[in-house]
Amino acid sequence: MNKIFDLQKDKIILVMMAYTIIAFGIGWMWGLREISFLVGLVIGLIISVLKYKLLEVTLNRAVNMSEAKAKIYSQRHYLVRYTLTGAVLLISAIYSQANLLGVFLGLLALKVGAYYELFNIRRS
């Protein structure tokens, strides 16, 4: 079964995209009509999706390791993910092509998607 888009597995990514669209709409209503806000949201969303995929790969590989190796491996990848987040925020603060608020809101997409899945599981 080779599916191009597995809706159930990538539901969290769809939630992240929906959140970004809603954040853009709210920003538009509040007067954030610059293209830099949209660019920031898109950059934040892309980094959030990348962090989600990195977390998925990390967990899948760590399961097959011994406990000590898995702990070290997970800690290293945790550091990589948060260094990536810090670098993106720093770069967006320095360069004006991406709005810092937009990047921050885009980076929150991963948290929103994770909480959505948590509440979805509790309802079931």
Name residues whose C-beta falls within 8 Å of residue 101's C-beta, 6 or more positions apart in sequence: 27, 32, 37, 40
Q: Is residue 4 part of a domain?
A: no
Name residues whose C-beta falls within 8 Å of residue 123's C-beta, 6 or more positions apart in sequence: none
The answer to whether residue 9 scores a pLDDT higher than 80 is no
Q: How confident is the model at residue 112 (pLDDT cuts 50, 70, 90)?
A: very high
pLDDT at 38: 93
Q: Is residue 93 part of a domain?
A: yes
Amino acid (1-letter code) at residue 107:
L
The answer to whether residue 3 scores a pLDDT higher than 80 is no
Task: Look up the pTM and report it.
Answer: 0.87
Q: Taking the alpha carbons of 5, 53, 22, 44 in that order, is the dihedral positive or negative?
A: negative
Count the neighbouring beta carbons within 10 Å of the beta carbon of residue 111: 12
Q: Is residue 3 part of a domain?
A: no
Range of the domain at 25: 11-123
pLDDT at 6: 56
Helices 67-94 and 35-63 sit at what angle, rounded to 10 degrees? Answer: 170
The answer to whether residue 5 scores a pLDDT higher than 50 is no
Tally of structural domains, the chain: 1
Tally the residues of the chain: 124
What phi-psi label fits residue 31: left (phi over 0), alpha (psi between -120 and 50 degrees) or beta?
left
Q: Is residue 47 part of a domain?
A: yes
Q: Is residue 81 part of a domain?
A: yes
If one compares 26 and 118, the residue with the highest pLDDT of the two is 26
Q: Is residue 52 part of a domain?
A: yes
Q: How confident is the model at residue 65 (pLDDT cuts 50, 70, 90)?
A: very high
Q: Is residue 5 part of a domain?
A: no
115-124 pLDDT tens trace: 998 888 777 6
The number of C-alpha atoms within 13 Å of 49 and in the hemisphere containing its C-beta is 15
